Structure 1
Amino acid sequence: MTARPTTSKGLRTRAHLLDCGREVFARDGYVDARMSDVAEVAEISMGGLYRYFANKEELFAQVIADLHEQFYQASTAREHDFATEPYEALVEANRGYLALYRERRDVMRAFIQAAHVVDRFRDYWWQMRTRHVKRFVAALERVHGITRVNGVDAALAAESVACMVEQSAYVWFAQQSLHGAEVDLEDATRVVAHAWYATFFSPPVDEPAPGGVRLTQTRPRPA
């Protein structure tokens, strides 16, 4: 593994190479991308590129690590309080996730491809989704005291909805050409946010609402 640069020039060069690598992976996919293509786009020698990244796998790993953190931050509700506005907070968080997924759809398509052929990226994919699920489950228990949903562990329920959102984003955005139609971001957001809300805040008719709070199957859309 190569050493991370410490000078301002080195850091700028590394960031430039990551941008160029992201461009090549988005264009060609993980399997077909080549370091020589990255060097060409970056207008740097192969030797110069290898001083920063030992191989394609290392370069892509950093591209995905950066994207992982961006997703984690993008799917954080900052304008709405999950305690008092759970539906609105879920809309905000899911909009952030889906908007970034749509923006980075080509890189995400390459990532899913890589996860099927390289164990390291399969593990990255697992870590990414697990981190998101654990954050939600922890907040659900801490803020609303919910640990079980319809008789099952809330973590299992969260995994199921997270899978739905992840696969929906992949179909709607990463595979838009196969889907055959562009999905409006707001429509996508409302669909998945409603699924989260209905799963955790709309109890069966014969069960009381969690914490004694009056909840209904649907809520009006925020203004």
Structure 2
Amino acid sequence: MPSESTTVTTETPDLVDAAKLGTQPQTARGKRTRDALIAAARTVFERDGYVDSRLVDIAAEAKCSIGSFYTWFDSKDEVFAAVLHEAQSEMLHPGTGRIETSDDPVAIIGASNRSYFEAYRRNARLNQLLLQVAAVDTRFRTMRQARASAFVSRNARAISELQQRGLADRGVDATMAAMALSGMVSRLAQDAYNASVDVPVDDLVETATRLWTNALGLTTPELRAD
């Protein structure tokens, strides 16, 4: 499944170092210019890719001078960090939080999967771009790995709680199950939304939720085969 509940908590590491996002504006005008540069940078990065994007193109897209760019950012990786920071709440991997006794665990897994797929679909190009940058930049790779680890840990705790309540197969290692299932949903989203075919969200949610619940031995009437 995805990798975290629909609400971001403080235990989830940021995608980027908040102290390295360029100069912060002190005026409304400065904020408008900086915001325009961040929006323009996302457009250029998604269009041209990180490696081939140029600062002059970002400035042109924002309708400002290259000098204005350097007022707020020192480099391409700094403005890319700002783009990720702006979008990270939308890019988070939703996953299982604590499942209370009265909750339907299958419904929660399904809702978490839906939240993940919908967020990934809205940000498919940026998610793909992050994968590319993480492959060549150790800083982004380290932060992405830390974030993935936090999500796996959260899912592992949720699986362990289900096992303790007798609702999930106790013979499955909770951490390895969380790693496998989180990775499965992540890869499913990548393949579905980074290809030319746009797979319906409902189909992805149903498939991923069946795989999750079947793997853990969870069942509900809605998920049982006819």
TM band (smaller chain): 0.7 to 0.9
Aligned-residue RMSD, C-alpha: 2.8
1:79-94 equivalences in 2 (<5 Å): 84-94=103-113
1:81-125 deviations in whole A, cap 9, x for unaligned?
785211111111111111121111111121111111111121132
Percent identity over the alignment is 30
Question: How many equivalent pairs are there?
Answer: 201
2:83 to 56, 59, 63: 63
1:48-127 equivalences in 2 (<5 Å): 48-72=68-92, 75=94, 84-127=103-146
Please tell me whether the aligned partners of residues 29 and 107 of structure 1 are also in contact (alpha carbons under 8 angstroms). no
Cα deviation, residue 133, structure 1 = 1.8
Q: Which residue does the alignment assign to 2:7?
A: none
Amino acid at match of 1:94: N
Distance 1:59 1:9 in 2: 18
Q: Which residue does the alignment assign to 1:30?
A: 50
User: Structure 2: which 5+ runs fail to align?
Assistant: 1-19
Q: Which residue does the alignment assign to 1:164?
A: 184
1:166-185 equivalences in 2 (<5 Å): 166-174=186-194, 176-177=195-196, 181-185=197-201
Distance 2:157 2:71 in 1: 41
Q: Which residue does the alignment assign to 1:198?
A: 214
1:135 to 154, 161, 165: 154
Distance 1:167 1:66 in 2: 24
1:220 to 214, 219, 222: 222
Distance 1:51 1:117 in 2: 27
Tell me which protein shows more helix as a share of its residues.
Answer: 1
Q: Tell me the TM-score normalized by structure 2.
A: 0.77
Distance 2:32 2:163 in 1: 44
The one of the two structures with greater contact order (alpha-carbon pairs below 8 A, sep at least 6) is 2
Q: Which residue does the alignment assign to 2:34?
A: 14
CA distance change for structure 1 residues 140 and 71 in 2, over 3 Å: closer, same or farther? farther
